[in-house]
Amino acid sequence: MNKPPRKRNKATSALSSDDTPPDNQDLEGNPATATITVSAVEVTELTQEEQSDCLPLERKVEQAFFEAGKALIELRDRRLYCSTHKTFDEYCLNRFGYNRSRSYQLVDGAVVVDNLQKCPQFVDILPTAEGQVRPITKLEPFDTSNSEVVI
């Protein structure tokens, strides 16, 4: 059953007819002369220790999909879900909220990144999101036993 298209809300003015603009703004005049107040936010510098801690933590966040995919592979291959669920798909949905498609996107993404890590001569920067590797998940892994590469 198709849903009817949603109606857009009409834009309304922030001022009602009873409101008056602030003294320093003339809303009827030229908008280029309007005054805008901006609050400043103090930014503290990181210590040397904090700076050295930051990069590894950022790398963990960037590789979270890779780690999740590797963990899902192990859970699936070792059948560690069997004590609570009949299928891997059911387990992923109930435990993590991942439908079958999402579970296997993470698994396939982890396989691709794992293969990319085996070929550092071709990849300088590893992907940081599963969506970046999704288009290449159907490719065959590069054969690292062949040392001669023709480009």
Q: What pLDDT shows up at residue 128?
A: 87
How many Cβ atoms are within 10 Å of 68's Cβ, its own excluded? 18
More confident residue, 101 or 61: 101
Contact predicate 85/94, CB 8 Å: yes
Give per-residue pLDDT as tens, 24-83: 555 566 767 778 888 887 778 888 898 888 888 877 877 899 999 999 999 999 999 999
More confident residue, 116 or 73: 73
Q: What pLDDT shows up at residue 7?
A: 58
| Dist. CA 68–CA 50, nearest whole Å | 26
Tokens 């891997």, located at residue:
88
Q: According to DSSP H, which parts of the chain are helical?
A: 48-62, 64-77, 88-96, 100-117, 130-133
For the chain, what are the domain ranges? 51-135
- The share of the chain scoring above pLDDT 90, in percent, equals 39
Q: Is the pLDDT of residue 4 over 90?
A: no
Rounded alpha-carbon distances, angstroms, from residue 33 to 15, 21, 26, 39:
18, 14, 8, 19
Contacts of residue 143, defined as CB under 8 A and 6 or more positions apart, other chains included, come to none
Contact predicate 46/54, CB 8 Å: yes
- The three-state DSSP-derived secondary structure of 19-60 is CCCCCCCCCCCCHHHCCCCCCCCCCCCCCHHHHHHHHHHHHH
